Amino acid sequence: MVDSVQGKKHKGLVIINTGEGKGKSTAAFGMMLRAWGRGMRVAAVQFIKGDTSKFGEHMAFEKMGVEVIPAGRGFTWTSHNLDVDAEKARHGWKVASEMILSRNYDVLVLDEITYPLRYGWIEVSDVIDVLGRREPMMHVVLTGRNAPQELVEFADLVTEMRPIKHPYAEQGITAQKGVEY
């Protein structure tokens, strides 16, 4: 879409928040907050956090009426599923790719998807294929350490969160409820 005033393009972005530092998922949730503020249709699929964990973001999104889906939700274990974590991740990707292609969302966060990508449970080429077929104005935000290079090349906006100072190792302080989870 071309803005007639500025001649600049509006388009849905593929955004990656990666790196060893804090703030990758948190910034993705901040984007969801913004989009929700504008009445856009937002959701997240979480690839690492447990099916039953209740973090501050879950409590918030529940209050806001925003869907946050654990990758393992709805996954059915059978004796063929030898590697449950891998199967849950693949199930999560199936759900996420259907959401991406449904045209029912303006912003979708794939939280910590880089881990199953790194483990080879989900194919990077599949993700790029589905992202390439999404509705052109849809934004997709992918988070996690060690984003695969092909995905970085495909993305529009990539930020590395670098730890400059981290309190836990140095000061024996634990993660703080409210700001970190």
Site residues for its own copies per CB under 8 A: 3, 6, 8-13, 15-19, 21-23, 25-31, 33-40, 55-64, 106-107, 139, 141, 152, 155-167, 171-174, 176-181
How far is the C-alpha of 140 from the C-alpha of 15, rounded, in Å?
A: 6
In the complex, minimum distance from the CB of residue 63 to its own copies, in angstroms, rounded to a whole number: 7
Closest CA to 24 of 57, 73, 53: 57
In the complex, minimum distance from the CB of residue 161 to its own copies, in angstroms, rounded to a whole number: 5
The set of residues, in sequence order, having a beta carbon less than 8 Å from that of 110 and lying 6+ positions away, is: 44, 45, 47, 96, 140, 141, 142, 143
In the complex, minimum distance from the CB of residue 109 to its own copies, in angstroms, rounded to a whole number: 10
Angle ∠(44,9,31) on CA atoms, nearest 5: 25
**In this complex, which beta carbon is closest to its own copies, that of residue 42 or of residue 89?**
42
In the complex, minimum distance from the CB of residue 170 to its own copies, in angstroms, rounded to a whole number: 9
**In this complex, which beta carbon is closest to its own copies, that of residue 42 or of residue 122?**
42
**In this complex, which beta carbon is closest to its own copies, that of residue 81 or of residue 159?**
159
How far is the C-alpha of 74 from the C-alpha of 71, rounded, in Å?
A: 8
How far is the C-alpha of 89 from the C-alpha of 83, rounded, in Å?
A: 10
**In this complex, which beta carbon is closest to its own copies, that of residue 85 or of residue 160?**
160
DSSP helix/strand/coil, 17: strand
In the complex, minimum distance from the CB of residue 87 to its own copies, in angstroms, rounded to a whole number: 29
**In this complex, which beta carbon is closest to its own copies, that of residue 126 or of residue 180?**
180
